[in-house]
């Protein structure tokens, strides 16, 4: 059997084999609870039955539980990647392998990413090796202002990635949405309001008026949104557009809004906080690539958090991989050293990539934290996880240790000490 075939067979065997949760404790490490508090020196984390049993200073290791020496190491909850396209594509520019967009589909809101998510994707494996254990996955608006229904997944090395299908709906009212809807924000908001109104009408009566624009599947997909049963993730950037989105609840009071992007959120942070609406954003945008981002600043996240807004670092796609989240969070900590800038404390920054995205996803207290009863998603790092020089040594999901190898690590090992005939032909000349 060829070497590649052997590796593929081994991978299939791992995916097919049932794995039990481990009971273990990590002792003597710097422990990060993940709730916004600062790290705890010389702490212990205990995991039993796939759940966190205890974490912090002075925690005793129960008899019979394997103890892992964590001295000189850091222990954190698994990272939660807020709004990504993990598992939806293999090669971005190869259409046949890319399920992030549905340009020519007659459907918009009814699109459901669940069947397309591939847990064997190398992007999932690479992210898992970077400490990411959970993610919210969605497509990109293309043929409609609605991208459709996103899913919550775990990144375990098995076939059961889906935690919750149809977990949220995604719509864009940013400049891209204006372009899709007909060339202006006026058209985008008109299409959006009409869609919600038709969903409300369908929710009130199964009999539909003949004078409708949405097809029935799209209208049905929006019924949970107008009832407040499914969160609505709204991409928007300009301050005035953010206020317009917040005002939508005057017409549709049940909407559970989540702002995505909010590049100029700092300009209207008090209004966002007063509305109780959370934000998912890319934190390091400080150059206005578009007119809706003229007020961009790296202090955006810090200023919103100071105003009382719950902010998660997210928006991870092809050019902004989920494993980069600790680096971006670390930059927000370092930002405090710049005169006039507003960053985050270490605890706030880590919470923005762990507990806050979990809370936005409706999983607060169960993921993104090392607290009793939470899922046993634990990462052992060789140093401060917000430093770019640090990396995960071991990753557990629901108490099950995960493989950290992937295509990138195999290439590294292959060419680090290549055997005869293993170098690419170009290197043999």
Tens-place pLDDT, residues 96-121: 888 999 989 999 999 999 999 999 99
Mean local confidence (pLDDT), 78-87:
96
Spell out the long-range contacts of 296-300 with Cβ–Cβ below 8 A and sequence spacing 24 or more. 296/263, 296/264, 297/266, 298/331, 298/332, 298/335, 298/341, 299/266, 299/335, 299/341, 299/342, 299/343, 300/262, 300/263, 300/264, 300/265, 300/266
Give the residue from 170, 169, 166, 171 showing the smallest Cα distance to 153: 166
**Structure letter (DSSP) for residue 142:** S
Confidence at residue 4, expressed as pLDDT on a 0 to 100 scale: 43
Residue 63 token pair: 């008899």
Tens-place pLDDT, residues 48-75: 999 999 999 999 999 999 999 999 999 9
Confidence at residue 19, expressed as pLDDT on a 0 to 100 scale: 66
Considering the four listed CATH numbers 3.40.718.10, 3.40.30.10, 3.20.20.140, 3.40.50.720, the one that applies to the domain covering 79-366 is 3.20.20.140
Burial 53-90 (b: 16+ CB within 10 A, else e): bbbeeebebeeebeebebeebbbbbbbbbbbbbbbbbe
Tens-place pLDDT, residues 131-186: 999 999 999 999 999 999 999 999 999 999 999 999 999 999 999 999 999 999 99
Confidence at residue 7, expressed as pLDDT on a 0 to 100 scale: 41
Q: Does residue 282 register a pLDDT over 80?
A: yes
The pLDDT confidence band at residue 428, using thresholds 50, 70 and 90, is low
- Residue boundaries of the structural domains of the chain: 1-77+368-429, 79-366
**Pairing, β 79-84 against β 311-316:** parallel
The mean predicted confidence, pLDDT, of the chain is 92
Give the residue from 355, 275, 339 showing the smallest Cα distance to 37: 355
For the chain, the straight-line distance linking the first and the last C-alpha, in angstroms and rounded, comes to 28
Percent of the chain with pLDDT over 70: 93
Confidence at residue 9, expressed as pLDDT on a 0 to 100 scale: 44
Confidence at residue 415, expressed as pLDDT on a 0 to 100 scale: 81
Confidence at residue 417, expressed as pLDDT on a 0 to 100 scale: 80
Percent of the chain with pLDDT over 90: 83
Tens-place pLDDT, residues 360-385: 999 999 999 999 999 999 999 999 99
Q: Which fold has domain 1-77+368-429?
A: Urease, subunit C; domain 1 (2.30.40)
């Amino acid at each position: 059997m060829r070497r590649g075939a052997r590796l593929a067979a081994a991978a299939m065997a791992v995916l097919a084999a049932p794995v039990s949760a481990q009971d273990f404790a990590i002792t003597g490490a710097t422990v990060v609870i993940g709730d916004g508090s600062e790290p705890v020196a010389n702490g212990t984390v205990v995991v039993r039955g796939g759940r966190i049993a205890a974490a912090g200073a002075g925690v005793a290791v129960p008899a019979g539980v394997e103890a892992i020496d964590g001295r000189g190491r850091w222990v954190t909850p698994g990272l939660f990647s807020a709004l990504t396209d993990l598992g939806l594509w293999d090669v971005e520019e190869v259409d046949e392998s890319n399920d992030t967009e549905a340009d020519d589909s007659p459907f918009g809101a009814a699109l459901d990413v669940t069947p397309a998510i591939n847990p064997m994707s190398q992007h999932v494996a690479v992210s898992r090796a970077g400490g990411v254990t959970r993610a919210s996955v969605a497509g990109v608006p293309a043929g409609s202002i609605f991208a459709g229904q996103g899913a919550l997944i775990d990144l375990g090395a098995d076939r059961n990635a889906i935690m919750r299908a149809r977990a949220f709906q995604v719509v864009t009212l940013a400049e891209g949405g204006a372009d899709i809807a007909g060339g202006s924000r006026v058209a985008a908001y008109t299409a959006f309001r009409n869609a919600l109104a038709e969903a409300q009408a369908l929710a009130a009566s199964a009999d539909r008026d003949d004078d409708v624009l949405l097809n029935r599947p799209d209208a049905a997909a929006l019924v949970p949104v107008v009832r407040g049963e499914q969160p609505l993730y709204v991409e928007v950037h300009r301050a005035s557009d953010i206020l317009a989105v917040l005002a939508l609840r005057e017409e549709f009071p049940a909407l559970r809004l989540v702002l995505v992007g909010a590049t100029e959120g700092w300009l209207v942070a008090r209004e966002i906080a007063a509305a109780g609406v959370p934000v998912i954003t890319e934190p390091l945008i400080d150059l206005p690539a578009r007119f809706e981002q003229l007020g961009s600043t790296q202090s955006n996240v810090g200023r919103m958090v100071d105003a009382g807004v719950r902010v998660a670092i997210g928006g991870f796609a092809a050019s902004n991989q989920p494993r980069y989240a600790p680096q971006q969070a670390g930059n927000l900590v370092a930002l405090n050293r710049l005169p006039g800038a507003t960053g985050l404390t270490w605890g706030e920054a880590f919470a923005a990539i762990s507990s806050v995205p979990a809370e936005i996803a409706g999983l607060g207290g169960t993921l993104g934290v090392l607290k009793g009863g939470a899922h046993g998603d634990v990462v052992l790092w060789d140093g401060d996880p917000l430093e770019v020089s640090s990396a995960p040594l071991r990753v557990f999901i629901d108490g099950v240790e995960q493989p950290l190898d992937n295509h990138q690590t195999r290439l590294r090992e292959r060419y680090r000490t290549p055997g005869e005939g293993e170098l690419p032909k170009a290197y043999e000349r």
